[in-house]
Structure 1
Amino acid sequence: MTLPASWLPVASDSDFSVHNLPFGVFSTGLEQPRVGVAIGDFIIDMSTAAQLGVMSEAGVAVSVFQHPTLNPLMSLGRPAARRIREILQRQLTQTDSFLHKLAAEVLVPQAIAQLHLPVAIGDYTDFYSSLEHATQVGQLFRPNNPLLPNWKHLPVAYHGRSSSIVVSGTPINRPNGQVLPMGAEVPIFQPTQALDYELELGFVIGKNSKLGVPVSVEEAEEYIFGCVLFNDWSARDIQRWEYQPLGPFLSKNFASSLSPWVVTLDALETFRVAGPEQNPEPLPYLRTSGALNFDLNLEVAIKPQDVSETVVCRTSARYVYWNIRQQLAHHTVSGCNLRVGDLLATGTISGPDGSGCLLELTEGGKKPIRLTDGTERTYLQHGDEVIMRGHAGRGDVRVGFGEVRGSILDSPESEN
């Protein structure tokens, strides 16, 4: 549904239109972090707005908006967040609204705000749900049999580390670990020389499930509050040595970057599309139908220090093979319970038109890519900034995530 224009000017290419209104956590000066909602170049200070009565009809305690994470708000359930968003949309499109009269008190320019990690993340699970990514990576190591036998039967995943998930803009230290040089029989200890990014979406859990009780695919979206951009940094040389037989460990646990604004599923509803055909047909507990993927335009850019960026990937989330309903149902079918604040990530998103990591793009470091400044990359170098963006658009309606950024700092050991 197209809404009337907002009385607050919003650029046509802004990710934060009145159709979006994502939730986040911000602070200004010495004030404590608190809940905000993005609109154009501004943030609605939800704590102040609630104290002044703007949200009185929402039936939500003011303290929910004064918290330094979204967890208390998410715990109220998707219907409560929907009411808040609908009230704000109405207040932003009516020139005689209470919010308009109080604009000077409740609107904070994003340029002067500090954005914080929006969610206290409990558990984090990283899936492997892009067929193009799994196939292209598999071909690097198993040219004749790129997909393992289980891949098209279940959403493959591993449990990640939540303590090292950071908000966009946080510098990333190059990790150290064991690496097995080509032709060597014993490993050496050194900073990774194959630092990579992974373009992903993350889905934030907003409702507890019960231990021992699976969540069906039909119920799954009741448990999802919203979606973020996610960069799961990876050290490929450390990963090659450590991942067999149990999978990645130090090569993934050092950092993941998350965008500061959580876009609700309600805001993404307009952009639903059918995902790829699944063959063979999944087992009954994983069967879904209809438009369950999201047509989100995604891109990755690399920006070396003091030079312009180069866009190295453009793709779409519509290509994800295992959708979020299937991921959540599979996660809980064993009886594993989900808690508010948990994060489920898609794994690297690639498509027929773009590769979501350098491992694919450079064919395992064999084919360097050339950047705008004339330099080449197989993997990330000191000072490189990786910028990921995502948005959906249809007609005059645009909904986006903003950016998730991170710059690479060399580890102290690599400077000696």
Structure 2
Amino acid sequence: MSTSPVPRPPVPRTPTDRPHRPHRSHSPDRPDRLAPEHREKLYAARLHAARARPYLATALFALHVVETARVPTMAVDRHWRCYVSPAFVARTEPEVLASVWVHEVAHLLRDHARRGDRVVRALDLDGPGHRLRINLAADCEINDDAFGDGLVHPADAVYPATLGLSEGGLMEEYVREFSLGTQFQDLVWLECGSGADGLERPWELGPDDAHGLSDQERDLVRFRVAEGILARPGRAPAGWRRWAEQAFHPPQPWRRLLGAAVRSAAAAAGRGDDYSYGRPARRAASLPGVVLPALRRRPPRVAVVVDTSGSVADGELGTALLETAAIVRAVGGRRELVSVVSCDAAARQVRQVAAEGGLELIGGGGTDLRAGFAAALRRRPAVDVVVVLTDGQTPWPSQPPPCRTVVGLFPRPRAEVREDDPDYRPDLPPSWARVVELG
């Protein structure tokens, strides 16, 4: 008679009793998950990148990592998520990963998504092929001075020389200097995401999913990074210094600024107001038999004083005529309300824009725009706004005029030295004028 053995209860194992199994970074059942040791390598590489480029630390640690096998290497979307391929992390050295971290965050800091959208509209481009062209151009802008000094050069990175371009350019310049052809077919694998060219991918989470940064948060990160670069400019490459200066002082659409300044000056209290009997005042009802005029808003009268001295180039005089036309549009197209004063050392000519024969700017001598101010203020009816277009190399009135003043400055070096007077410095526009840099 045989007896079956009595089953023994299982003996609980401690963690140290568990058999050792090597981790797999890219198992067939979970291809889009990082193995623990590879996740540790990825984050160690980010720390290395922050140590090599400490001014980028805020941006590097603001990125949220998304693990996915749908990207070939690493990519970013415009909402500051970083998509990471587990297979790429498994086969890549930590030093190279650190350089890729810096490359991807540079796309976001330099706002290549929004800039790519603008290039698409400006050049009438469309489709993934053109977005790849933008991606390549953005890579050239970043990579020409991104590596070295603690960061290795990735072997397959795209540099300006890769496309036969010169260094030091911007993405918008590079896009116009090359087109995609068969010579670049080895680069079609390139995939940096919508954060590099603005085109959203199917594998991106989208604006409403978790862990994305808002517009305000992105701007705050950019401000903090730019602040760190400008605090110690000697530690950042030229491309990053240029970016930081523009982040603090972004280029302004000066033509819109000038028009806005004119409209703002004309809208000031008491400017452009006059009494009219065309419509009785409402308070006349309390005074039977008395007709009171009503206060009516009229378009402002503008005097444009143009510096026609010898230091102003012909092209800048042409710009002055264009700005005069823009000012006419700003006052509703009423040409009779705008007059132009040509002035060098004296007020040479005063003409209404509506006068027959067109505008002619006369001058070529020295510069003293005080005479132009005086001629403008003698106009009758009185002007509401004086707009001065000059290079700034002039004395200014000692007292503010009785109307608003807008000064449009042609670009010049901040200081000029005269051989006969080494202590000479041009007078800055007075504080009572609204100053707009032209060009």
Q: Could you tell me the TM-score, scaled by structure 1's length? A: 0.23
Greater relative CO (CA pairs within 8 A, separation 6+): 1
Q: Kindly name which structure, 1 or 2, has the bigger radius of gyration based on alpha carbons.
A: 2
Higher strand share: 1
